[in-house]
Amino acid sequence: MTKTKTALGGVLSLALICGGVAVAQMPKDNVSGRRHPNLAAAQRLSQQAWEKITAAQQANEWDMDGHAAKAKELLDQVNKELKMAAEAANHDRK
């Protein structure tokens, strides 16, 4: 019974890790640096932060109680907000 529980726990952990990796993909660089240099710089920094979190996850074998994955989700949200800010600025200029 113990081996079965251990195997099941391993399979569930692997599925959770794979699911987190699939959901949290690197933010896209989609703010124009020419039109919005500050927003584009912020977006680049959020991408760098996402990459550093990924490196930390790999160094710690992905075991961070879900906090690193949550941080990556929040960085994805930051990226989307930066894009919307650039679009709002574009709209206001017209």
**How does pLDDT run across 49-88, given as a tens digit for each residue?**
999 999 999 998 887 899 999 999 999 999 999 999 999 9
Q: What is the rounded average pLDDT of the residues 16-43?
A: 73
Q: 83 CB contacts (<8 Å, ≥6 apart)?
A: 30, 31, 43
Average pLDDT over the chain, rounded to whole?
81
Token duo for residue 56: 């930390």
Secondary structure, 3-state, 48-75: HHHHHHHHHHHHCCCCCCCHHHHHHHHH
Q: Please give the Cα distance from 81 to 60 (Å, whole number).
A: 30
